[in-house]
Amino acid sequence: MAQSPQYDREPPAQERRNYTDRMNQAYTRFAGLYAWAVRSLPVWKTWLRAVLPHIVGPRVLEASFGTGYLLTQYADRFEVSGIDYNERMVLIAGRELERKGLQADLFQADVANLPFQESFFDCIVNTMAFSGYPDGNQAMSEFRRVLRNGGRLLILDFDFPENGNCAGWSLTRLMQRSGDIIRDLRPLLAQHGFAFENRVIGGFGSVQLFIAHRGRLRISPRAVHR
């Protein structure tokens, strides 16, 4: 019998700050190693590059750009801003852009509180990061806020393979064991008014790309309070 996906619950509100601090310490310690791994692992770059044909502009936000590999692949074509929580990542990505003669406005910021005005961006790019946010609802709500109506949200992350592939299933379980919060993005996107499709990118079905469009929020009559 096919297994059903074992999605995580959101951590309780009082644990979210600790979760982010813990992950941030790990990223500070391993930022150099992470940069090396992204550079040296062709498969990781192939997964990230799957997002490129779907980016639309002119204004693009990359949330949680890490060492900035993906930024360097499209910053020459759009007006790019980026945020990452980790200071070392911001420094590394900034240096990488400079080395390649590219320009983007990079900020150290929390996805839970994006430093941009409403409806500012045409597109948001988010790769291998959503499962590291302790409050998926808040992150999605911020994405919705800063994206213009009709704008595009691209989320690449691990999920349970729909065809139950064992290798893909094990990869996603491994990410869970390393502390990632694996969520079902489908209801979360729908609740925030996004229409979407998802595509399998690799990792035996575990690496998936959600291509979502921001629509107007439709409030069902039952949810209207009188």
Ligand X SMILES: C[S@@+](CC[C@H](N)C(=O)[O-])C[C@H]1O[C@@H](n2cnc3c(N)ncnc32)[C@H](O)[C@@H]1O
Give residue for tokens 């400079």: 98
89 binding ligand X? (CB under 6 A) = yes
81 binding ligand X? (CB under 6 A) = no
Q: Give the C-alpha separation, 146 to 67, whole Å.
A: 23
129 binding ligand X? (CB under 6 A) = yes
106 binding ligand X? (CB under 6 A) = no
Q: Give the C-alpha separation, 14 to 122, whole Å.
A: 33
> Which member of 55, 75, 104, 128 binds ligand X (CB under 6 A)?
128
86 binding ligand X? (CB under 6 A) = yes
> What does the DSSP assignment read for 151-178?
EEEEEEEE---TT--HHHHHHHHHHHHT
Closest CA to 25 of 193, 179, 210: 179
Cα 95 → chain centroid = 22
Q: Quick one: 110 or 159, whose CB is closer to ligand X? A: 110
Range 21-80, binding ligand X (CB under 6 A): 23, 27, 38, 48, 64-66
20 binding ligand X? (CB under 6 A) = yes
Both tokens assigned to 147: 């994206």
Minimum distance from CB of 37 to ligand X (Å)? 9
Binding site for ligand X (CB under 6 A): 20, 23, 27, 38, 48, 64-66, 83-86, 89, 110-112, 127-129, 132-133
